[in-house]
């Protein structure tokens, strides 16, 4: 009994709890990292190995040589970056109007924007496909950028509305009394104070775009226009699913997003819960 107590000190329990969370969160990523360093033959031997027995980086060389992974990476970066920037501009405009300006049906407008996020994307797939085909932009970057802006618009607007509301209106009024125009006050007072909110919203938008699969699969299916999730999911081996190549590709695709959230984790958590709590 006493020895039990001595072992299960609060510190030990905390360590066990942390270990459970860390293993749950990291195990799949770590396992795919280990897999990526095993040669193809080691992946099809039994019993399976845990740590690489015959360590190699050949998979990383092959993945760029055999598959246009560099191109997929470029496509993902372009689409995610462009859609994030456009989302931020559009949602900051909307959020400022909702949070700050005299507006009829303020709540209704916000509710309409949020409601649009609950529509199943797949039901709108064909009409969006037809629209993009009519505009002649299937298999181009804008075909994904436009819907991705709409995808992130609700959560970004929600985050930014709450940020704008947290900035004292008096600061803005004071600037305007001092002779600043509304845009001057917006640019010099509101924007700097809202920067953390804009940044948080930006990360959420970037992750949304980076992760999206269904539209990327359906609208930009040409090999040269595939984003990372589609490109990797559609890898075909000559005989079997090429897990050694896939694992290296997955590592390369996960690292950017993992670094992003590792650097800005507090902001991401804040944004997620602000968006979530509001809803």
Partner 1 sequence: MIARVRGVERFADPGERTLAALLLAPAAVLLALIVVYPIGKLVYNAFFDLRLSGGQHAPFVGFDNFASALQDGIFWNAVWVTVSITIISTIGALLVGLALALLANLPYRIQWPVRLALLLPWAMPLAFAGLIFAWFFNTDYGVVNDWLMRIGIAPRSWLLSPGTAYAAVCITLVWKSASFIALILLAGLQMIPRSLYEAAEVDGATRLQQFREVTLPLLVPSIVVALIFRTIAGLQTFDIPYTMTKGGPAHATQTLAMLIHDTTIDYGDIGYGSALAVLMFLLSMVVTALYLRRIQRD
Site for partner 1 in 202-261 (CB under 8 A): 207, 210-214, 217-218, 228-230, 232-233, 243, 246-247, 250, 253-254, 257-258, 260-261
Tell me: cis bond preceding 136? Omega within 30 of 0 counts: no
Angstrom CA distances, 85 to 51, 89, 92, 230, 233, stand at: 41, 6, 11, 22, 27
Pair 155, 197: CB distance under 8 Å: no
Choose the binding region for partner 1 from 63-71, 142-150, 163-171, 189-197 (rule: CB under 8 A): 142-150
Per CB under 8 A, the list member of 123, 170, 178, 238 interacting with partner 1 is: 123
Per CB under 8 A, the list member of 63, 73, 113, 167 interacting with partner 1 is: 113
Q: Confirm or reject binding of residue 82 to partner 1 (CB under 8 A).
A: no
Map the footprint of partner 1 across residues 12-71, applying CB under 8 A. Answer: 13-14, 17-18, 20-22, 24-26, 28-29, 31-32, 35, 43-44, 46-48
Structure tokens belonging to residue 228: 């990372």
Q: Which is nearer to partner 1, 3 or 46 (CB)?
A: 46
Question: Cα dihedral angle (25, 57, 241, 236), rounded to 10 degrees?
Answer: 110
Q: To the nearest whole angstrom, how small is the minimum distance from the Cβ of residue 101 to partner 1?
A: 4
Question: CB under 8 Å to 132, separation ≥6 — which residues?
Answer: 138, 143, 219
Q: To the nearest whole angstrom, how small is the minimum distance from the Cβ of residue 170 to partner 1?
A: 16
Q: To the nearest whole angstrom, how small is the minimum distance from the Cβ of residue 83 to partner 1?
A: 11
Pair 217, 25: CB distance under 8 Å: no
Q: To the nearest whole angstrom, how small is the minimum distance from the Cβ of residue 48 to partner 1?
A: 5
Q: Confirm or reject binding of residue 136 to partner 1 (CB under 8 A).
A: no
Contacts with partner 1, 151-180, as mask; x by CB under 8 A? --x---x-----------------------
Q: Confirm or reject binding of residue 141 to partner 1 (CB under 8 A).
A: no
Helix, strand, or coil (residue 136): coil
Per CB under 8 A, the list member of 71, 82, 128, 137 interacting with partner 1 is: 128
Choose the binding region for partner 1 from 54-62, 77-85, 145-153, 190-198 (rule: CB under 8 A): 145-153
Pair 207, 253: CB distance under 8 Å: no
Size of the site for partner 1 (CB under 8 A): 94
Tell me how crowded residue 30 is: count the other CB atoms within 10 A of its CB.
12
Largest separation between any pair of C-alpha atoms in the chain = 77
Cα atoms found within 13 Å of the Cα of residue 199, Cβ hemisphere only: 15
Pair 128, 179: CB distance under 8 Å: no
Taking the alpha carbons of 210, 211, 216, 222 in that order, is the dihedral positive or negative?
positive
Q: To the nearest whole angstrom, how small is the minimum distance from the Cβ of residue 195 to partner 1?
A: 19
Q: To the nearest whole angstrom, how small is the minimum distance from the Cβ of residue 92 to partner 1?
A: 9
Q: Which is nearer to partner 1, 64 or 235 (CB)?
A: 235
């Amino acid at each position: 009994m006493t020895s039990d107590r001595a072992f299960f000190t609060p510190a030990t329990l905390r360590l066990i709890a942390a270990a459970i969370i860390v293993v749950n969160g990291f195990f799949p990523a770590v396992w795919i990292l280990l897999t990526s360093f095993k040669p193809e033959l080691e992946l099809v031997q039994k019993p399976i190995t845990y740590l690489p027995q015959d360590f190699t980086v050949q998979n990383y060389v092959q993945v760029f040589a055999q598959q246009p992974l560099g191109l997929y990476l470029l496509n993902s970066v372009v689409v995610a970056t462009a859609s994030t920037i456009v989302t931020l501009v559009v949602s900051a405009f909307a959020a400022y109007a909702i949070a700050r300006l005299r507006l009829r049906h303020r709540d209704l407008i916000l509710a309409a924007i949020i409601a649009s996020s609950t529509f199943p994307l797949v039901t709108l797939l064909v009409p969006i496909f037809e629209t993009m085909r009519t505009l002649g932009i299937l298999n181009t970057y804008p075909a994904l950028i436009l819907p991705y802006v709409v995808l992130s618009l609700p959560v970004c607007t929600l985050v930014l509305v709450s940020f704008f509301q947290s900035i004292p209106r008096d600061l803005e009024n004071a600037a305007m009394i001092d002779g600043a125009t509304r845009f001057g006050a917006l640019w010099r007072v509101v924007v700097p104070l809202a920067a953390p909110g804009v940044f948080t919203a930006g990360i959420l938008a970037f992750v949304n775009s980076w992760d999206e699969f269904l539209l990327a699969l359906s609208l930009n299916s040409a090999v040269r226009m595939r984003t990372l999730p589609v490109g990797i999911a559609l890898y075909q081996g000559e005989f079997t699913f090429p897990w050694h190549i896939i694992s290296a590709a997955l590592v390369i695709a996960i690292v950017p997003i993992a670094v992003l959230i590792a650097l800005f984790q507090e902001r991401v958590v804040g944004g997620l819960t602000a968006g979530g709590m509001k809803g």
